């Protein structure tokens, strides 16, 4: 996987090249704040009346490390053009994720998509990102610095990314939950303790 600042605009397969952007291209915020990583790049072929045609297929993740992250797929004859298309789609589908103290998540959650299951857990300061592959890329570009994650299902890159994003989007702060239940912090935690005791007695 390759990481690049969008201001450079190079090609994943030709790092030294500069990407030419059309007039009125991506927003200024994207050029200065967002980074992109190519998760997967391959050649795919399709049989048509004119014969067998080969195209570049690319999966990328973009993020500003401040709570905004997205992914996209691009297809074209050349990898450079496929990357541009993938990034453009990722920017259109950006999602906002919640962060606790600008470094971790609020609570444990299991995100699911298809056969993929991604478990995320909050971590103490200095822990770092305990994850691998596409999951780590999503967490990193979203802006998390201390978090545990584990893939419990299929390792298909796109499904893992979707499952990770679902887990991050389902994060709720204690204050949000207390407002939702119309409870104070103390009442909320007391309620949780009572429910846990009831559950223990039942067992």
pLDDT tens for each residue of 87-118 = 999 999 999 999 999 999 999 999 999 999 99
In CATH, what number is assigned to the domain containing residue 35? Answer: 3.30.160.20
Same domain, 128 and 82: no
pLDDT for the residue 13: 41
CA–CA gap between residue 6 and residue 32 (Å, rounded): 7
For residue 17, being part of any structural domain is answered with yes
> pLDDT at position 121, please?
97
For residues 71 and 45, the answer to whether their CB atoms sit within 8 Å is: no
Query: Coil, helix or strand for 83?
Result: helix
Domains held by the chain: number: 2
Do residues 80 and 143 share a domain?
Answer: no
pLDDT at 51 (0 to 100): 82
- Is residue 62 situated within a structural domain? yes
Give the pairing of strands 35-48 and 2-5.
Answer: antiparallel
Q: Which of 34, 61, 96 is the last residue of a domain?
A: 96
Dihedral sign from CA coordinates of 46, 41, 91, 135: positive
138 assigned to some structural domain: yes
Closest C-alpha to 102, from 73, 129, 142, 133: 142
- Quick: pLDDT tens for 180-201: 766 665 565 554 444 444 444 4
Q: Name the pTM for this structure.
A: 0.73
Query: Which residues of the chain fall below pLDDT 50?
Result: 6-29, 191-203
Report pLDDT for 173.
85
Strands 95-96 and 68-76: antiparallel
CA distance 105 to 59: 25
Both 121 and 142 in one domain: the answer is yes
Contact by Cβ (8 Å): 144, 122: no
Both 8 and 83 in a single domain?
yes
Q: Domain of 116? A: 109-169
User: Residue 190 has what pLDDT?
Assistant: 53
pLDDT, position 50? 76
What per-residue confidence (pLDDT) applies to 178?
A: 67
**Tokens linked to 49:** 């009346």
């Amino acid at each position: 996987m390759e990481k690049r600042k969008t201001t450079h605009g190079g090609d994943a397969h030709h790092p030294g090249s500069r990407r030419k952007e059309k007039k009125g291209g991506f927003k200024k915020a994207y050029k200065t704040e967002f980074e992109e990583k190519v998760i997967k790049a391959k050649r795919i072929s399709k049989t048509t009346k004119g014969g067998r045609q080969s195209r570049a297929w690319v999966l990328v993740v973009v993020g500003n490390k401040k709570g905004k992250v997205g992914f996209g797929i691009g297809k074209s004859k050349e990898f450079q053009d496929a990357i541009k298309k993938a990034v453009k789609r990722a920017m259109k589908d950006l999602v906002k994720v919640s962060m606790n103290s600008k470094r971790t998540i609020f609570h444990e959650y299991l995100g699911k998509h298809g056969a993929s299951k991604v478990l995320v857990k909050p971590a103490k300061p200095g822990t770092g990102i305990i994850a691998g592959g596409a999951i780590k890329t999503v967490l990193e570009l979203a802006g998390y610095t201390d978090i545990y994650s584990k893939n419990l299902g299929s390792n298909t890159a796109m499904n893992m990314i979707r499952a990770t994003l679902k887990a991050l989007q389902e994060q709720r702060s204690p204050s949000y939950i207390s407002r939702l239940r119309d409870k104070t912090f103390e009442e909320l935690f007391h309620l949780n303790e009572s429910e846990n005791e009831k559950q223990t007695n039942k067992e």
